[in-house]
Amino acid sequence: MPEETRRNWRPIDRMNALLAGQFADRRPWIPSVYEHGARLLEKSPGEVSRDAGWMAEAALAAYQVYQHDLVTVGIDIYNIEAEAFGCPISDGAEKSIPGVTAHPLADGVLQPERLEIPQPSSGNRLGLIADAVQRVVGQIGDQVWVYACMGGPFSQAVELRGFEALIGDIYENPSAVHALLDRTAELSVQQACRLSGLAAGVNLFESWATLPLIDPSIFQNFVVPYNKRVIDAIRERFATPPPAVIMGGDTARLIDFFLQARAGLIAADYMTDFAFMRQRIGDAPMIVRGCVDPKMIERGQWDKLSVMIDRLAEKSAGMARFVWGCGCVSYDTHPESVLRFKELALAAPAEISR
């Protein structure tokens, strides 16, 4: 990298360096900003989620305030694909986030053949989020990685069928579950390619696949193959920021599955077994976002947060592909608190080579 660039690091330079396994001027910082972006516009999450212009402005406003090293576009990040398949969504009035209110495949025997793969239309938001992503990439895509949000195939299936019913189907009617996942994965491939074609990275959110909600065998057989189908489609067709699979829980226990799916970015909280994760990742180009508790940021629990940050810094010492992060920043979190978290994270000890 030219010396002049090394003296004037942009967010996109930091992330590109990490992807190559190199250290940047500092460790990148990536808070999870979704509905919090609506707060910056003094609008409700529901209002922003249904307008491409406001959704783009929320992401751009967050970047202006926080100058974070990766920008995500999305508000109700799990719902757009499920809604397109027919899940009714709440309004998201005041501070609440729009959410699925009913499961259209909940009754009786699972019949995935009832589903048709939806296309962007005025009746869904598949095109709306693509419009928002295009606006953000056009504004700041030369400065920072821009990611689009979408629900993963397994999480879409849960919203369509309901969690308990789907788990029952996995044991009693697994072929029907695979048929359902074929459909949710097909929509995921189409939407991921639609978004990747705009030069954006893709976040696959699979929160319904978090341990201990499901066990590793279910993850291996009913999550990984379908995530891999989406990730392979992106990697084969587009040169974009690496596809991410985002979920909470003990992601260290699933690291081999993330590697199998070829995920390029994953999240890990401060309790994660980093030694095991690092050993398994080896030289694979996988970025790990170390996450602190966003509730501590919202409440201003700086002493506890400092301890959490110090532990993460110690565990990730010398890890080139590590970035600072947190869980979803709430609507109510004050911007000054987010900036305080940034200050603490970037002041943490780190082994940086230049």
| Per-residue pLDDT tens digits for 256-309 | 999 999 999 999 988 889 899 999 999 999 999 999 999 999 999 999 999 999
- Within-domain flag for 312: yes
- Within-domain flag for 16: no
- Within-domain flag for 198: yes
pLDDT single digits (tens) 214-223: 999 999 999 9
Residue (of 247, 251, 277, 270) closest to 345 by Cα position: 270
- Within-domain flag for 124: yes
Instruction: Tell me which of 5 and 111 has the higher pLDDT.
Output: 111
Using only C-alpha atoms, the chain has a radius of gyration, in whole angstroms, of: 19
- Could you tell me the residue range of the domain that residue 198 belongs to? 27-347
Residues 6+ apart with CB under 8 A from 104: 85, 86, 87, 88, 160
Largest pairwise CA distance in the chain? 65
3-state secondary structure of 254: helix
> How is residue 322 written in tokens?
């590590």
Q: What does the buried/exposed string (b/e) look like for 111-120 if buried means 16 or more CB atoms within 10 Å of the residue's CB?
A: ebeebeebeb
- Within-domain flag for 117: yes
Range with the lowest mean pLDDT among 133-137, 171-175, 247-251, 340-344? Answer: 247-251
Q: Would you give the DSSP letter of residue 289?
A: E
Categorize the per-residue pLDDT at 351 as very low, low, confident or very high, splitting at 50, 70 and 90. low
Share of the chain above pLDDT 70, in %: 97
pLDDT score of 3 more than 50: no
The region, left, alpha or beta by phi > 0 then psi within -120 to 50, assigned to residue 36 is alpha
Residues 6+ apart with CB under 8 A from 123: none
Categorize the per-residue pLDDT at 354 as very low, low, confident or very high, splitting at 50, 70 and 90. very low
Cα separation values, 267 from 1, 69, 242, 259, Å: 28, 15, 14, 13
pLDDT single digits (tens) 305-330: 999 999 999 999 989 999 999 999 99
Check which CATH number belongs to the domain holding 111 and give it.
3.20.20.210
Number of domains in the chain: 1
Amino acid found at 207? S
Distance CA 45, CA 13 (A): 31
- Within-domain flag for 14: no
- Within-domain flag for 20: no
3-state secondary structure of 246: strand
- Within-domain flag for 7: no
pLDDT single digits (tens) 38-76: 999 999 999 999 999 999 999 999 999 999 999 999 999
**C-alpha of 25 from chain center:** 25
Query: Residue 32: which H helix or E strand, with range?
Result: strand 29-32
pTM: 0.95
